[in-house]
Structure 1
Amino acid sequence: MDANKMDERIEGVQFSPIFREDTLGDFKDICKDNYKDFLKLFFLSKDINDYLESKRKEGDNSSKEYFTRLFNIRIRDHFSSSFILISQGFIVDAISLTRSSLEDLLVIINFYINKKFFNQWYENKEEFKVVVGNLRQNVKNSSIFEKEDGEFFDNVYGALSNIVHPKLNSVRLMSTYHPSFNNLDAINLKKYTDLIILSYYTYEIQICNFLENIYPDDKEKLKLIKQTLNDDISIKSLINLEK
Protein backbone atom coordinates (compact mmCIF):
# COMPACT_ATOMS: atom_id res chain seq x y z
CA MET A 1 0.00 0.00 0.00
CA ASP A 2 1.46 3.36 -1.01
CA ALA A 3 1.62 6.32 1.36
CA ASN A 4 -1.27 8.22 -0.26
CA LYS A 5 -3.68 5.31 0.13
CA MET A 6 -2.60 4.86 3.73
CA ASP A 7 -3.26 8.54 4.41
CA GLU A 8 -6.73 8.18 2.89
CA ARG A 9 -7.55 5.28 5.21
CA ILE A 10 -6.63 7.16 8.37
CA GLU A 11 -7.88 10.62 7.36
CA GLY A 12 -10.38 11.90 9.91
CA VAL A 13 -10.01 8.91 12.22
CA GLN A 14 -10.40 9.88 15.86
CA PHE A 15 -8.54 8.12 18.64
CA SER A 16 -10.42 5.33 20.39
CA PRO A 17 -9.13 2.82 22.94
CA ILE A 18 -11.50 0.21 21.49
CA PHE A 19 -9.85 -1.87 18.78
CA ARG A 20 -12.20 -4.86 18.85
CA GLU A 21 -15.72 -3.62 19.39
CA ASP A 22 -17.36 -6.99 18.67
CA THR A 23 -15.13 -8.71 21.22
CA LEU A 24 -15.93 -6.08 23.81
CA GLY A 25 -19.63 -6.71 23.19
CA ASP A 26 -19.15 -10.45 23.77
CA PHE A 27 -17.20 -9.72 26.92
CA LYS A 28 -19.93 -7.51 28.35
CA ASP A 29 -22.45 -10.30 27.79
CA ILE A 30 -20.56 -13.29 29.15
CA CYS A 31 -18.32 -11.72 31.80
CA LYS A 32 -20.80 -9.61 33.78
CA ASP A 33 -20.09 -11.49 37.00
CA ASN A 34 -16.34 -11.17 36.42
CA TYR A 35 -16.70 -7.41 36.14
CA LYS A 36 -18.61 -7.26 39.43
CA ASP A 37 -15.90 -9.31 41.14
CA PHE A 38 -13.20 -7.13 39.61
CA LEU A 39 -14.84 -3.99 40.99
CA LYS A 40 -15.05 -5.54 44.46
CA LEU A 41 -11.35 -6.41 44.33
CA PHE A 42 -10.52 -2.96 42.99
CA PHE A 43 -12.31 -1.22 45.86
CA LEU A 44 -10.72 -3.56 48.39
CA SER A 45 -7.31 -2.62 47.02
CA LYS A 46 -8.10 0.93 48.10
CA ASP A 47 -8.72 -0.35 51.64
CA ILE A 48 -5.34 -2.09 51.51
CA ASN A 49 -3.77 1.08 50.17
CA ASP A 50 -5.24 3.17 53.00
CA TYR A 51 -3.90 0.66 55.50
CA LEU A 52 -0.41 0.76 53.95
CA GLU A 53 -0.48 4.56 53.94
CA SER A 54 -1.09 4.49 57.70
CA LYS A 55 2.24 2.68 58.14
CA ARG A 56 4.22 5.39 56.39
CA LYS A 57 5.60 8.28 58.43
CA GLU A 58 4.66 11.76 57.25
CA GLY A 59 7.16 13.08 54.72
CA ASP A 60 8.72 9.65 54.18
CA ASN A 61 9.57 8.74 50.59
CA SER A 62 12.40 6.27 50.98
CA SER A 63 11.38 3.47 53.38
CA LYS A 64 10.18 0.01 52.50
CA GLU A 65 6.78 1.01 53.90
CA TYR A 66 6.59 3.86 51.39
CA PHE A 67 7.53 1.64 48.46
CA THR A 68 5.18 -1.13 49.60
CA ARG A 69 2.30 1.29 49.16
CA LEU A 70 3.61 2.34 45.73
CA PHE A 71 3.83 -1.28 44.66
CA ASN A 72 0.27 -1.87 45.81
CA ILE A 73 -0.87 1.00 43.59
CA ARG A 74 1.23 -0.33 40.70
CA ILE A 75 -0.31 -3.78 41.13
CA ARG A 76 -3.80 -2.31 41.10
CA ASP A 77 -2.92 -0.56 37.83
CA HIS A 78 -1.58 -3.83 36.39
CA PHE A 79 -4.82 -5.64 37.15
CA SER A 80 -6.91 -2.77 35.82
CA SER A 81 -4.94 -2.81 32.57
CA SER A 82 -5.23 -6.60 32.39
CA PHE A 83 -8.99 -6.36 32.63
CA ILE A 84 -9.14 -3.75 29.86
CA LEU A 85 -6.97 -5.94 27.63
CA ILE A 86 -8.90 -9.16 28.25
CA SER A 87 -12.17 -7.33 27.53
CA GLN A 88 -11.03 -6.96 23.92
CA GLY A 89 -9.51 -10.41 23.57
CA PHE A 90 -5.84 -9.57 24.14
CA ILE A 91 -5.44 -12.68 26.26
CA VAL A 92 -1.67 -13.19 26.33
CA ASP A 93 -1.00 -9.49 26.94
CA ALA A 94 -3.54 -9.38 29.77
CA ILE A 95 -2.05 -12.45 31.42
CA SER A 96 1.48 -11.04 31.08
CA LEU A 97 0.52 -8.00 33.17
CA THR A 98 -1.28 -10.25 35.63
CA ARG A 99 1.85 -12.30 36.16
CA SER A 100 3.86 -9.08 36.66
CA SER A 101 1.49 -8.24 39.51
CA LEU A 102 2.37 -11.43 41.38
CA GLU A 103 6.07 -10.82 40.75
CA ASP A 104 5.65 -7.39 42.34
CA LEU A 105 4.10 -9.13 45.34
CA LEU A 106 7.26 -11.22 45.65
CA VAL A 107 9.31 -8.01 45.69
CA ILE A 108 7.17 -6.57 48.49
CA ILE A 109 7.55 -9.70 50.63
CA ASN A 110 11.31 -9.82 50.09
CA PHE A 111 11.60 -6.22 51.31
CA TYR A 112 10.69 -7.53 54.77
CA ILE A 113 12.10 -11.05 54.95
CA ASN A 114 15.49 -10.19 53.44
CA LYS A 115 17.02 -7.02 54.93
CA LYS A 116 19.81 -6.90 52.36
CA PHE A 117 17.37 -7.11 49.46
CA PHE A 118 15.60 -3.83 50.17
CA ASN A 119 18.87 -1.96 50.65
CA GLN A 120 20.26 -3.35 47.39
CA TRP A 121 17.01 -2.64 45.57
CA TYR A 122 16.95 0.95 46.87
CA GLU A 123 20.59 1.59 45.99
CA ASN A 124 19.64 0.60 42.42
CA LYS A 125 23.18 -0.17 41.31
CA GLU A 126 23.66 -1.38 37.75
CA GLU A 127 24.83 -4.82 38.80
CA PHE A 128 21.76 -5.45 40.96
CA LYS A 129 19.21 -7.77 39.36
CA VAL A 130 15.74 -8.80 40.51
CA VAL A 131 15.69 -12.56 39.97
CA VAL A 132 12.14 -13.81 40.35
CA GLY A 133 13.21 -17.41 40.97
CA ASN A 134 15.33 -16.31 43.92
CA LEU A 135 12.50 -14.20 45.32
CA ARG A 136 10.12 -17.17 45.14
CA GLN A 137 12.63 -19.41 46.89
CA ASN A 138 13.14 -16.86 49.66
CA VAL A 139 9.40 -16.81 50.28
CA LYS A 140 9.24 -20.62 50.34
CA ASN A 141 12.06 -20.72 52.87
CA SER A 142 10.38 -18.15 55.10
CA SER A 143 8.36 -19.27 58.12
CA ILE A 144 5.77 -16.53 57.51
CA PHE A 145 3.66 -18.47 55.02
CA GLU A 146 1.99 -21.82 55.43
CA LYS A 147 2.88 -24.57 52.96
CA GLU A 148 -0.62 -24.30 51.48
CA ASP A 149 -0.10 -20.59 50.77
CA GLY A 150 3.07 -21.33 48.83
CA GLU A 151 1.45 -24.11 46.85
CA PHE A 152 -1.55 -21.94 46.00
CA PHE A 153 0.70 -19.11 44.81
CA ASP A 154 2.85 -21.51 42.78
CA ASN A 155 -0.19 -23.00 41.07
CA VAL A 156 -1.55 -19.62 40.05
CA TYR A 157 1.86 -18.26 39.02
CA GLY A 158 2.60 -21.45 37.06
CA ALA A 159 -0.70 -21.19 35.21
CA LEU A 160 0.10 -17.61 34.22
CA SER A 161 3.64 -18.51 33.14
CA ASN A 162 2.36 -21.27 30.87
CA ILE A 163 0.53 -18.58 28.92
CA VAL A 164 3.19 -15.85 28.94
CA HIS A 165 6.28 -17.84 27.97
CA PRO A 166 6.80 -17.75 24.16
CA LYS A 167 6.25 -21.48 23.77
CA LEU A 168 3.93 -23.51 21.55
CA ASN A 169 1.06 -23.50 24.04
CA SER A 170 1.16 -19.70 24.32
CA VAL A 171 1.03 -19.13 20.56
CA ARG A 172 -1.78 -21.64 20.18
CA LEU A 173 -3.67 -19.94 22.98
CA MET A 174 -3.47 -16.61 21.16
CA SER A 175 -5.27 -18.19 18.20
CA THR A 176 -8.15 -19.53 20.31
CA TYR A 177 -9.71 -16.07 20.52
CA HIS A 178 -8.43 -13.82 17.77
CA PRO A 179 -10.17 -12.04 14.87
CA SER A 180 -7.23 -12.72 12.54
CA PHE A 181 -8.11 -16.41 12.71
CA ASN A 182 -11.88 -15.85 12.63
CA ASN A 183 -11.91 -17.69 15.93
CA LEU A 184 -13.99 -15.92 18.55
CA ASP A 185 -14.92 -18.70 20.96
CA ALA A 186 -16.32 -16.77 23.91
CA ILE A 187 -15.73 -19.73 26.24
CA ASN A 188 -11.99 -19.06 26.09
CA LEU A 189 -12.51 -15.38 26.82
CA LYS A 190 -14.47 -16.27 29.95
CA LYS A 191 -11.98 -18.88 31.06
CA TYR A 192 -9.00 -16.57 31.07
CA THR A 193 -10.95 -13.74 32.63
CA ASP A 194 -11.62 -16.15 35.50
CA LEU A 195 -7.85 -16.61 35.82
CA ILE A 196 -7.26 -12.86 36.09
CA ILE A 197 -9.87 -12.58 38.84
CA LEU A 198 -8.33 -15.57 40.62
CA SER A 199 -4.90 -13.89 40.42
CA TYR A 200 -6.21 -10.59 41.78
CA TYR A 201 -7.86 -12.49 44.64
CA THR A 202 -4.57 -14.33 45.24
CA TYR A 203 -2.68 -11.07 45.53
CA GLU A 204 -5.07 -9.52 48.02
CA ILE A 205 -5.32 -12.63 50.20
CA GLN A 206 -1.55 -13.14 50.22
CA ILE A 207 -0.69 -9.52 50.97
CA CYS A 208 -3.17 -9.51 53.87
CA ASN A 209 -1.76 -12.78 55.23
CA PHE A 210 1.72 -11.32 55.00
CA LEU A 211 0.80 -8.03 56.65
CA GLU A 212 -0.79 -9.91 59.56
CA ASN A 213 2.65 -11.31 60.31
CA ILE A 214 4.41 -7.99 59.93
CA TYR A 215 1.85 -6.08 62.02
CA PRO A 216 0.34 -8.61 64.46
CA ASP A 217 -1.46 -5.87 66.40
CA ASP A 218 -3.55 -5.13 63.30
CA LYS A 219 -4.80 -8.66 62.66
CA GLU A 220 -8.43 -7.73 63.19
CA LYS A 221 -8.30 -4.91 60.64
CA LEU A 222 -6.74 -7.17 58.05
CA LYS A 223 -9.10 -10.03 58.83
CA LEU A 224 -12.02 -7.77 57.93
CA ILE A 225 -10.57 -7.30 54.45
CA LYS A 226 -10.00 -11.02 54.10
CA GLN A 227 -13.49 -11.77 55.31
CA THR A 228 -14.91 -9.51 52.61
CA LEU A 229 -12.79 -11.32 50.05
CA ASN A 230 -14.02 -14.71 51.15
CA ASP A 231 -17.67 -13.68 51.45
CA ASP A 232 -18.11 -11.51 48.37
CA ILE A 233 -15.79 -12.82 45.63
CA SER A 234 -16.74 -15.85 43.53
CA ILE A 235 -13.49 -17.64 42.78
CA LYS A 236 -13.32 -20.34 40.13
CA SER A 237 -10.93 -23.28 40.50
CA LEU A 238 -7.72 -23.34 38.50
CA ILE A 239 -8.19 -24.23 34.86
CA ASN A 240 -6.19 -26.69 32.82
CA LEU A 241 -3.98 -24.61 30.55
CA GLU A 242 -2.22 -27.50 28.86
CA LYS A 243 -5.10 -28.16 26.45
Structure 2
Amino acid sequence: MSLLSLLGEFGLSASAAFVAYLTWNVYQSPYLTAESAEKNVVIYSDKDDTGSHSRLTVKNIGKIPAKNCRANLWMYGTRENEAIFSLMPVPWISRRGQLIANDSGNFSEDATIGAGENAVLQIFRQTSTNSVVPENRINSGDSVWLLADLSDVNQNDVDLLTDGVLLNDERLVRDNDANFRSQNGMSIEDFEQIEWEEAFVRVESSNGQVLKVPLRIHVSDGRVEFQVDPPLQSITHRIITSIRRAT
Protein backbone atom coordinates (compact mmCIF):
# COMPACT_ATOMS: atom_id res chain seq x y z
CA MET A 1 0.00 0.00 0.00
CA SER A 2 1.39 3.40 -0.98
CA LEU A 3 2.05 6.22 1.45
CA LEU A 4 -0.71 8.30 -0.13
CA SER A 5 -3.20 5.47 0.38
CA LEU A 6 -2.14 5.13 4.01
CA LEU A 7 -2.51 8.85 4.56
CA GLY A 8 -5.92 8.79 2.89
CA GLU A 9 -7.14 5.95 5.09
CA PHE A 10 -5.76 7.70 8.16
CA GLY A 11 -7.60 10.88 7.21
CA LEU A 12 -10.88 9.02 6.74
CA SER A 13 -10.44 7.22 10.05
CA ALA A 14 -9.66 10.48 11.82
CA SER A 15 -12.72 12.16 10.28
CA ALA A 16 -14.95 9.24 11.28
CA ALA A 17 -13.56 9.33 14.81
CA PHE A 18 -14.18 13.07 15.01
CA VAL A 19 -17.81 12.69 13.89
CA ALA A 20 -18.28 9.80 16.34
CA TYR A 21 -16.85 11.91 19.16
CA LEU A 22 -19.17 14.82 18.32
CA THR A 23 -22.16 12.49 18.17
CA TRP A 24 -21.27 11.08 21.58
CA ASN A 25 -20.64 14.59 22.89
CA VAL A 26 -24.09 15.77 21.74
CA TYR A 27 -25.71 13.10 23.89
CA GLN A 28 -23.50 13.85 26.87
CA SER A 29 -23.40 17.66 26.86
CA PRO A 30 -25.56 20.75 26.52
CA TYR A 31 -24.79 23.07 23.61
CA LEU A 32 -25.79 26.73 23.94
CA THR A 33 -26.37 29.16 21.09
CA ALA A 34 -27.67 32.73 20.81
CA GLU A 35 -28.69 34.28 17.54
CA SER A 36 -30.81 37.35 18.31
CA ALA A 37 -31.19 40.25 20.71
CA GLU A 38 -34.48 42.15 20.96
CA LYS A 39 -35.49 45.57 22.23
CA ASN A 40 -38.79 45.56 24.09
CA VAL A 41 -40.59 48.87 24.63
CA VAL A 42 -42.21 49.15 28.06
CA ILE A 43 -45.19 51.40 28.74
CA TYR A 44 -45.42 52.49 32.37
CA SER A 45 -49.02 52.73 33.52
CA ASP A 46 -48.27 55.52 36.00
CA LYS A 47 -46.19 57.66 33.61
CA ASP A 48 -46.69 59.30 30.25
CA ASP A 49 -43.29 58.12 29.00
CA THR A 50 -41.94 54.73 28.00
CA GLY A 51 -38.78 52.78 28.68
CA SER A 52 -37.17 49.82 26.96
CA HIS A 53 -35.41 46.57 27.81
CA SER A 54 -32.89 44.64 25.74
CA ARG A 55 -33.12 40.87 25.95
CA LEU A 56 -31.04 38.01 24.60
CA THR A 57 -32.50 34.57 23.87
CA VAL A 58 -30.22 31.61 24.61
CA LYS A 59 -31.10 28.17 23.26
CA ASN A 60 -29.77 24.75 24.23
CA ILE A 61 -29.51 22.56 21.12
CA GLY A 62 -27.73 19.81 23.04
CA LYS A 63 -29.34 16.63 24.27
CA ILE A 64 -29.16 17.23 28.03
CA PRO A 65 -30.05 20.27 30.18
CA ALA A 66 -27.58 23.14 30.61
CA LYS A 67 -27.69 23.41 34.39
CA ASN A 68 -27.48 26.54 36.55
CA CYS A 69 -26.52 28.89 33.73
CA ARG A 70 -25.20 32.29 34.81
CA ALA A 71 -24.42 35.26 32.61
CA ASN A 72 -22.30 38.42 32.61
CA LEU A 73 -22.41 41.46 30.34
CA TRP A 74 -19.11 43.12 29.42
CA MET A 75 -18.92 46.53 27.72
CA TYR A 76 -15.86 48.65 26.99
CA GLY A 77 -15.72 51.96 25.17
CA THR A 78 -13.94 55.31 25.01
CA ARG A 79 -15.07 58.93 24.95
CA GLU A 80 -12.59 61.77 24.46
CA ASN A 81 -10.03 61.15 27.24
CA GLU A 82 -12.14 58.67 29.19
CA ALA A 83 -12.52 54.89 29.28
CA ILE A 84 -15.90 53.40 30.23
CA PHE A 85 -16.45 49.84 31.43
CA SER A 86 -19.32 47.75 32.65
CA LEU A 87 -19.08 44.16 33.86
CA MET A 88 -22.34 43.06 35.41
CA PRO A 89 -24.00 39.74 36.13
CA VAL A 90 -27.28 39.90 34.22
CA PRO A 91 -30.50 38.07 35.12
CA TRP A 92 -32.76 35.56 33.45
CA ILE A 93 -36.35 36.73 33.13
CA SER A 94 -39.35 34.45 33.48
CA ARG A 95 -42.12 34.18 30.88
CA ARG A 96 -44.38 36.14 33.22
CA GLY A 97 -41.71 38.79 33.65
CA GLN A 98 -41.55 39.29 29.89
CA LEU A 99 -45.12 40.57 30.08
CA ILE A 100 -45.01 42.57 33.33
CA ALA A 101 -42.56 45.45 33.80
CA ASN A 102 -40.32 45.88 36.85
CA ASP A 103 -41.47 42.94 38.96
CA SER A 104 -38.29 41.83 40.76
CA GLY A 105 -39.80 38.42 41.50
CA ASN A 106 -39.56 37.52 37.81
CA PHE A 107 -35.75 37.66 37.67
CA SER A 108 -33.25 34.98 38.69
CA GLU A 109 -29.46 34.70 38.82
CA ASP A 110 -29.33 31.26 37.24
CA ALA A 111 -31.45 29.11 34.95
CA THR A 112 -31.46 25.51 33.82
CA ILE A 113 -32.18 25.31 30.09
CA GLY A 114 -33.64 21.98 28.99
CA ALA A 115 -32.62 20.19 25.80
CA GLY A 116 -34.24 21.93 22.85
CA GLU A 117 -35.47 24.77 25.06
CA ASN A 118 -34.51 28.41 25.43
CA ALA A 119 -34.30 31.04 28.14
CA VAL A 120 -34.21 34.83 28.02
CA LEU A 121 -31.64 37.18 29.56
CA GLN A 122 -32.51 40.79 30.30
CA ILE A 123 -29.19 42.48 29.63
CA PHE A 124 -29.91 46.22 29.48
CA ARG A 125 -32.61 48.77 30.26
CA GLN A 126 -33.43 52.35 29.45
CA THR A 127 -35.69 54.05 31.95
CA SER A 128 -38.58 56.39 31.29
CA THR A 129 -36.21 59.25 32.16
CA ASN A 130 -33.72 57.99 29.53
CA SER A 131 -31.08 56.80 31.96
CA VAL A 132 -29.28 53.80 30.40
CA VAL A 133 -27.86 50.96 32.48
CA PRO A 134 -26.95 47.29 32.20
CA GLU A 135 -29.61 45.28 34.01
CA ASN A 136 -28.37 45.11 37.62
CA ARG A 137 -31.13 43.09 39.30
CA ILE A 138 -28.61 40.63 40.78
CA ASN A 139 -26.08 42.96 42.43
CA SER A 140 -28.45 45.88 42.78
CA GLY A 141 -26.15 47.77 45.16
CA ASP A 142 -23.20 47.76 42.76
CA SER A 143 -22.35 50.65 40.46
CA VAL A 144 -23.00 49.70 36.86
CA TRP A 145 -20.38 51.90 35.17
CA LEU A 146 -16.66 52.15 35.85
CA LEU A 147 -14.81 55.15 34.43
CA ALA A 148 -11.14 56.05 34.21
CA ASP A 149 -8.87 58.51 32.48
CA LEU A 150 -7.48 56.97 29.31
CA SER A 151 -4.00 58.01 30.40
CA ASP A 152 -4.40 55.74 33.45
CA VAL A 153 -5.64 52.72 31.48
CA ASN A 154 -3.39 50.50 29.38
CA GLN A 155 -4.18 47.46 27.28
CA ASN A 156 -3.11 45.19 30.12
CA ASP A 157 -5.84 46.69 32.34
CA VAL A 158 -8.44 46.04 29.64
CA ASP A 159 -7.15 42.51 29.05
CA LEU A 160 -7.23 41.70 32.77
CA LEU A 161 -10.78 42.94 33.13
CA THR A 162 -11.87 41.05 30.01
CA ASP A 163 -10.19 37.89 31.29
CA GLY A 164 -11.94 38.35 34.61
CA VAL A 165 -15.28 38.23 32.84
CA LEU A 166 -14.33 35.41 30.49
CA LEU A 167 -12.85 33.29 33.26
CA ASN A 168 -15.52 34.32 35.75
CA ASP A 169 -12.70 35.26 38.12
CA GLU A 170 -13.84 38.10 40.36
CA ARG A 171 -10.30 38.64 41.67
CA LEU A 172 -9.14 39.89 38.27
CA VAL A 173 -11.92 42.46 38.33
CA ARG A 174 -11.67 43.42 41.99
CA ASP A 175 -7.89 43.90 41.93
CA ASN A 176 -8.27 46.58 39.26
CA ASP A 177 -11.01 48.58 40.95
CA ALA A 178 -8.53 51.05 42.45
CA ASN A 179 -7.99 52.62 39.00
CA PHE A 180 -11.65 53.41 38.45
CA ARG A 181 -14.40 55.68 39.67
CA SER A 182 -17.96 54.43 39.71
CA GLN A 183 -21.21 55.80 38.34
CA ASN A 184 -24.73 54.42 38.74
CA GLY A 185 -26.51 55.94 35.76
CA MET A 186 -25.80 57.50 32.38
CA SER A 187 -27.90 59.70 30.14
CA ILE A 188 -28.67 58.61 26.60
CA GLU A 189 -26.87 61.74 25.40
CA ASP A 190 -23.65 60.70 27.15
CA PHE A 191 -24.08 57.10 25.99
CA GLU A 192 -24.29 58.17 22.34
CA GLN A 193 -20.90 59.88 22.60
CA ILE A 194 -19.12 56.66 23.52
CA GLU A 195 -17.32 54.61 20.88
CA TRP A 196 -18.00 51.05 22.02
CA GLU A 197 -14.98 48.91 21.22
CA GLU A 198 -16.17 45.61 22.67
CA ALA A 199 -19.34 44.15 24.13
CA PHE A 200 -20.32 40.57 24.80
CA VAL A 201 -22.43 38.34 27.02
CA ARG A 202 -20.79 35.31 28.56
CA VAL A 203 -22.98 32.41 29.69
CA GLU A 204 -21.66 29.42 31.63
CA SER A 205 -23.48 26.33 32.87
CA SER A 206 -22.44 24.30 35.89
CA ASN A 207 -22.02 21.24 33.67
CA GLY A 208 -19.34 22.70 31.48
CA GLN A 209 -20.92 24.65 28.62
CA VAL A 210 -19.59 28.18 27.97
CA LEU A 211 -21.03 30.59 25.42
CA LYS A 212 -19.62 33.99 24.44
CA VAL A 213 -21.98 36.20 22.42
CA PRO A 214 -20.36 39.28 20.79
CA LEU A 215 -22.71 42.26 20.58
CA ARG A 216 -22.89 45.37 18.43
CA ILE A 217 -24.36 48.51 20.05
CA HIS A 218 -26.47 51.10 18.24
CA VAL A 219 -28.64 54.03 19.23
CA SER A 220 -31.72 54.47 17.04
CA ASP A 221 -34.33 57.18 17.65
CA GLY A 222 -32.94 57.75 21.12
CA ARG A 223 -33.13 54.05 22.08
CA VAL A 224 -30.24 51.68 22.71
CA GLU A 225 -30.23 48.54 20.57
CA PHE A 226 -28.01 45.47 20.68
CA GLN A 227 -27.40 43.24 17.68
CA VAL A 228 -25.91 39.78 17.53
CA ASP A 229 -23.86 39.08 14.43
CA PRO A 230 -25.08 35.94 12.64
CA PRO A 231 -22.70 33.29 13.98
CA LEU A 232 -20.12 31.79 11.69
CA GLN A 233 -21.26 28.22 12.06
CA SER A 234 -18.33 25.94 12.70
CA ILE A 235 -18.18 22.35 11.50
CA THR A 236 -18.94 21.35 15.09
CA HIS A 237 -22.06 23.52 15.19
CA ARG A 238 -23.34 22.23 11.84
CA ILE A 239 -22.81 18.59 12.81
CA ILE A 240 -24.53 19.04 16.17
CA THR A 241 -27.46 20.81 14.50
CA SER A 242 -27.74 18.01 11.94
CA ILE A 243 -27.70 15.37 14.66
CA ARG A 244 -30.41 17.25 16.57
CA ARG A 245 -32.65 17.38 13.50
CA ALA A 246 -32.12 13.71 12.72
CA THR A 247 -33.00 12.44 16.20
- Normalised by the shorter chain, which TM-score bucket? under 0.3
Structure with the larger helix share: 1
> Quick check: which has more Rg, 1 or 2?
2
Scaled by the length of structure 1, the TM-score of the pair is 0.24
